[in-house]
A = this chain, B = another copy of it.
Amino acid sequence: MKFLHTADWHIGKKLHGFSLLNEQKEVFEQLLTVAQKEKVDAIVIAGDLYDRSVPPAEAVRLLNEMFYQLNIQHKFPILSISGNHDSATRLETGTPWYQEMNFHLQTTLNKALFEGIKLKDVQFFLLPYFEPVDARIFFEDETLKTHDEAVQRTIEEMKKNFDPSFKQVLVSHFFVAGSQRTDSETEVTVGGLDNVSSHHFKDFHYVALGHLHHPNASKHLLIQYSGSLLKYSTSEAKQDKGFRLIDIAKDGAVQNQFVSVHPSKDLLVLENDFSTLLDPQYYQTIKKDQYIFARLTDTRMIPNAMDRLREVYPNIIGMERLNRAGLMNHIQQLKHKDQQLLAPDKLFAVFYEGVTGKTLSQKQEEIVTETMESIQKEEE
């Protein structure tokens, strides 16, 4: 049994205001090509299909189209769950009809979930993201306070239905204790209360997880995150993005191959001083139309920095001043340069010098003084 393990599509997510729908489509197409070439027996998608509980209409259109291509056009069985970013209720639409086509999308705790879905020689258990309160209601058990307790309980129920003539695979969307977070995954409870112990998963042949965006977030060989298909935060800029091909042999041995995907516009973090970034010698080595995030090392003030960077890097998504302490120090120096700084026209002169690198001309000084005087008059 060979299946493709992916997760965290976050369809509709924007990167600093930039729509990623095109990139999401591109990497999906790469995934689809591999699925066809490798003739996988199923596609596993471990939650966070959408980025928000109420996704924009164009995101709905794209995900509908992806499911259509995978399941109806190319006849791949799909095994999927909702993540903490999805609305279980909204994502549930259509699921009873999907089943007829071997498209299984589990969004809530219910009895059917504990029976598993048998495909070839594997029994898949689809455990969507849920809150401890959902488990308390479902099991009528007030003692289930944490995600760890709730997940443990659901797995106990699953084990009752383990068919020994099948291999067992769990598809889920939780934070497994000890894994590596990046800053684009929402921590659902404060202080690590959403941690689920990997110990509960030991009886599965493989656990296909979603939630964490780093493909190597988990330390456990048989409990793996696929990672997201795109970089959804500058903190993910250096991560490899893609999906896993999982092959479970008859003897239960698991082969795990990570396949990278590459959108035509990638996310690139450039760390340098402002002049270098605008130097043709430098930027001609870079694919300039990528999503660029600039980390400026300068300590001086730079007026209109974003606009000037955008002239070279049309898809710049943001910038940050790395040497904030240095910059603040520079501003402090300007402030104390002159004892007369408290006079507004003098203060303005220093400010002007700081941001333009030029001093005020005689004429300019007169205009500033006149303006300040007329403002003060109006205040009186």
Contact = CB atoms under 8 A, between A and B. Distances in A.
Interface of A: 53-54, 57-58, 60-61, 64, 68, 71-72, 87, 89-90, 92-94, 96-98, 100-101, 103
Contacts of A58: 89
Nearest to A58: B89
A71 B103 CA distance: 18
Contacts of A87: 57
Contact of A100 (B64, B68, B90, B97): B97
Contact of A97 (B57, B72, B89, B90): B72
Contact of A89 (B54, B61, B98): B61
A43 to B, nearest CB: 16
Given A97-B103, A100-B101, A89 B60 contact: yes
Which of the listed residues A92, A96, A100 has the most CB atoms from chain B within 10 Å of its own CB? A96
A93 B91 CA distance: 9
Given A54-B54, A100-B101, A93 B72 contact: no
Contacts of A101: 97, 100
A90 B103 CA distance: 19
The A contact surface, by secondary structure, is: helix
30 contacts: A53-B57, A54-B54, A57-B87, A57-B89, A57-B90, A58-B89, A60-B89, A60-B90, A60-B92, A60-B93, A61-B89, A61-B92, A64-B92, A64-B93, A68-B96, A71-B97, A72-B96, A72-B97, A93-B93, A93-B94, A94-B94, A94-B97, A94-B98, A97-B97, A97-B98, A97-B100, A97-B101, A97-B103, A100-B100, A100-B101
A67 to B, nearest CB: 9
Given A58-B89, A61-B89, A94-B97, 17 more contacts: A57-B87, A57-B89, A60-B89, A60-B90, A60-B92, A60-B93, A61-B92, A71-B97, A72-B96, A93-B93, A94-B94, A97-B97, A97-B98, A97-B101, A97-B103, A100-B100, A100-B101
Nearest to A68: B96
Contacts of A72: 96-97
A72 B64 CA distance: 21
Which of the listed residues A58, A93, A100, A101 has the most CB atoms from chain B within 10 Å of its own CB? A93
Q: Which 9 A-B pairs have the closest CB atoms?
A: A94-B94, A97-B97, A57-B89, A61-B89, A93-B93, A97-B98, A72-B96, A68-B96, A60-B89
A53 B57 CA distance: 10
A334 to B, nearest CB: 47
Contacts of A98: 94, 97
